[in-house]
A = this chain, B = another copy of it.
């Protein structure tokens, strides 16, 4: 008998002894990090409100109880009973019964009302019908990404369960080594921005954290080919953890599956969906630019199939000697500071991913409070000695000034923006400014992937800033549903119409003017001296956005109809409004470390250019007396 089977046998005996005699246990198994307990008495289980919580705390495991399929009410009957238990206001939009696991997935506009106070309504459902309910939110704005992901996972349910069982046995395997070490190998994003990738390794376990590309230098990928990355093959990795969906962290995850990786990706649920959206767009852009993408869309689906979503704060076993906890990072939707607890109190490492330390309109500031942390791996994008940014208030004032001035000239404000994150922040600023009368009411047109990304944001309000989340729970206060927002879904014709109309604001991708609908908007508005092109995000070296910022006014542009290149004379005003970054500035990074609880012993400054990482590293050393490093790529640090 394998050690895992023996462990499950023992757990089953222990669970039985903990349960009242009228509750049976028909099977106990692992699915991913969870322990699943099958019972022929789900109703009795549900009656004892706190039983699962007690078991979980006793066994120190995440526990799910499922009914033995034999004892279930027929879906037809169950459906009626369930709907009679849930208040009508919950807005149930779908019920999906899975006979094999006894789960019923309830999609509702107001999941909270399906759950009830402390889960009371859920328990009521089980008491009535035996089925185990699982609740998901009906997106307030229809999102093809969310519905595609959900349909795909429904369709791949059987295979996914196989994956989860395999992963579960892997996580709970016996520890083989009596050695102890904790190491971090840097595979990318050291003394550079982009291609984030790290390996965290112990004698038992090898975990890849992020696997991105380098924007503007698509050939430069993380050093996956060195042996310390994938060892004797991608299957030597135990787990992948993704801090957030941006491509410089996520673009090459699907490639791992092409290389033969077959293990889990741990990340948040919104990151999973955004990652799918951005990776498919990445393939699309590569194809449009005539590059051969390193993998195809099938691999994106593999990545989604292998994703095990975690909620902020859940402590999860991901290997025999590693527990992972994700915490809000404040950077984009679902972004996570990833905390690893290694061994039984041996060592703790936190990877910041990209962070924003202060609260923004969209997100609470990054979490920096942990039970223990010895080493912090810290982003340094704005770690340079002069990287202090305008604060958000001033930034908003500046933006509003530009809009008012343009409006008064009768012009239009064209804002290139990243689909994920900055666009939604802009929407919140604009909605508030119009509602409070700071700027005149006018249409705000959203072009490119912005609408879709916004829909994903509204699907996961739990990941947004507290106040914003509460507003979204009420349709009439959901700022993203405000009347002035218009999704450009009518192509060139609609753009022409907007261009011919009066003053308005246009948010369009790509954020660095490297392609996408923003090019079309430049053709429409570029010659209009009354309109303003307004940059609100970082323009990287080598992008057209940066060149325009630097004063270029003769822009090479493909003619939409003929594909020929022509030159556009840019007569628009060009403005740059700073202070809307999704990254902490130098002060924010220092504050993150200074107020961190507990203060780490060592800090690795990464994800910034050479001078930023070195500036930040030496400042943290001098000001807080920590051991700090500005690693190069391909180094290995040992901590224990």
Contact = CB atoms under 8 A, between A and B. Distances in A.
Interface of A: 181, 183, 185, 201, 226-228, 230-233, 236, 632-638
Nearest to A633: B638
A183 to B, nearest CB: 6
* Chain multiplicity (copies): 2
Contact of A231 (B227, B633, B637): B227
14 contacts: A181-B634, A183-B635, A201-B226, A226-B228, A227-B227, A227-B230, A227-B231, A227-B236, A232-B232, A232-B233, A632-B638, A633-B638, A634-B636, A635-B638
A226 B183 CA distance: 11
Contact of A635 (B233, B633, B634, B637): B637
A227 B389 CA distance: 43
Contacts of A230: 227
Q: Tell me which of A227, A230, A637, A638 has the highest count of chain B C-beta atoms within 10 A of its own C-beta.
A: A227
A633 B637 CA distance: 10
A231 B225 CA distance: 10
Given A227-B228, A232-B232, A634-B636, 5 more contacts: A181-B634, A228-B636, A231-B232, A633-B638, A635-B637
Given A227-B227, A232-B227, A636 B185 contact: yes
Contacts of A236: 227
A205 to B, nearest CB: 13
Nearest to A640: B632
A453 B39 CA distance: 74
Nearest to A179: B223
A183 B227 CA distance: 13
A236 B567 CA distance: 53
A638 B636 CA distance: 9
Q: Tell me which of A201, A226, A233 has the highest count of chain B C-beta atoms within 10 A of its own C-beta.
A: A226
A111 to B, nearest CB: 44
Nearest to A185: B636
Nearest to A230: B227
A226 B232 CA distance: 10
A282 B181 CA distance: 29
A176 to B, nearest CB: 11
Given A232-B232, A232-B233, A233-B232, A634 B227 contact: no
Nearest to A632: B638
A228 B636 CA distance: 10
